Structure 1
Amino acid sequence: MSGAGAPTSQPYDASGLKVAVVAASWHTQVMDGLVAGAERALAAYGISEPEVIRVPGTFELPVVAAALAQAGYDAVVALGVVIRGGTPHFDYVCSAATDGLTQVSVTHAMPVGFGVLTCDTEQQALERAGLEGSVEDKGWEATAAALDTARVLTGLRDV
């Protein structure tokens, strides 16, 4: 399983951060699991009422993440899932989402938690969605990564 070697993150009080979750709508069961994992992580870090925004699909994540960065958010968690099919559509959407979210993060010096699952099968996505019986919780992991990076950036700004 791909989660081997993942860093451990200990929640801290991040209640002073303004955080949003932007999540795709395709593959409802997987996406609901990812959003629930993000919300569990945010609660563990002391963020009780994050902004949660749903968009049509994974391709739309970067533009909304950019708007949230411009609106002054400290971190964004981007959640989506793309499942390989029989056409190159998978490659285009995965590449566009990855490149777009990276551009938002670097341009705005704002952490974007990358919770976009790029799977060959729906079963692989379900195994990573943080649902009961899943072996991984990528919604939690993407959120922890965004919050831990926000903490690092805050420290750098205070230097």
Structure 2
Amino acid sequence: MSGHGAPSVGAAELAAAGEAGLKAVVVAASWHQEVMDGLVAGALRAAADAGIATPEVVRVPGAFELPVAAARLAPAYDAVVALGVVIRGGTPHFDFVCQGATAGLTDVSVRTGTPVGFGLLTCDTEDQALDRAGLAGHNGGAGSSEDKGHEAMAAALQTALVLAGR
């Protein structure tokens, strides 16, 4: 499981983001709607846990478009959360999209100084993606190993707090 060893984010850590008045935006790809719905729901749940009013959700066509949208939105927000999923196929396209999106989102964060929560799933199968999006078994997430949407929002908010000196 890739989540092994991850730091736990408690209610107090998330509440500090809301108390600080942080603003967050979710940039979400549109491919694989069911997986994306799970990722977005997790991110919005983390924002709610932090006491942040429902963040704006901006949809883009796919994972490759996440960096340009994040770059445009970053100056207006304390945290950007990028969510997408790429499922391996039979061609090198998977590698190109994953590398481009990853490098682009890293560049946005470093260049703008705005934390970008990395919620891009790169999976071999749709079942892996559903599990990582908190949707294993398609029954509300029971049995899921991870909730990457929630984790991406929590990471972005925690980093924004660190950068704000809190």
TM-score interval (norm. to shorter): over 0.9
What RMSD in Å do the two structures reach over aligned CA positions? 1.0
**In structure 1, distance between residues paired with 2:2 and 2:78:** 28
1:144 matched residue in structure 2:
154
1:34-59 deviations in whole A, cap 9, x for unaligned? 00000000000011221101111000
**In structure 2, distance between residues paired with 1:6 and 1:39:** 20
Deviation at 1:13, TM superposition (A): 3.2
**In structure 2, distance between residues paired with 1:85 and 1:35:** 24
Q: How does 1:83-94 map to 2 (within 5 A)?
A: 83-94=87-98
Q: How does 1:1-159 map to 2 (within 5 A)?
A: 1-10=1-10, 11-15=14-18, 16-70=21-75, 72-131=76-135, 132-133=141-142, 134-155=144-165
1:74-112 deviations in whole A, cap 9, x for unaligned? 110000000000001000000000000000000011100
3-state SS of the aligned residue for 2:54?
Answer: coil
**In structure 2, distance between residues paired with 1:84 and 1:128:** 15
CA contact (8 A) 2:133 2:147 kept: yes
Deviation at 1:135, TM superposition (A): 1.8
**In structure 2, distance between residues paired with 1:25 and 1:125:** 14
Task: Mark the runs of 5 or more structure 2 residues left unpaired by the alignment.
Answer: 136-140
Alignment size in residue pairs = 155
AA matched with 2:154: A
**In structure 2, distance between residues paired with 1:143 and 1:49:** 12
**In structure 2, distance between residues paired with 1:135 and 1:2:** 9
AA matched with 1:4: H
Task: Mark the runs of 5 or more structure 1 residues left unpaired by the alignment.
Answer: none
Q: How much identity, in percent, do the aligned residues show? A: 71
**In structure 1, distance between residues paired with 2:37 and 2:59:** 11
**In structure 2, distance between residues paired with 1:49 and 1:37:** 12
AA matched with 1:57: G
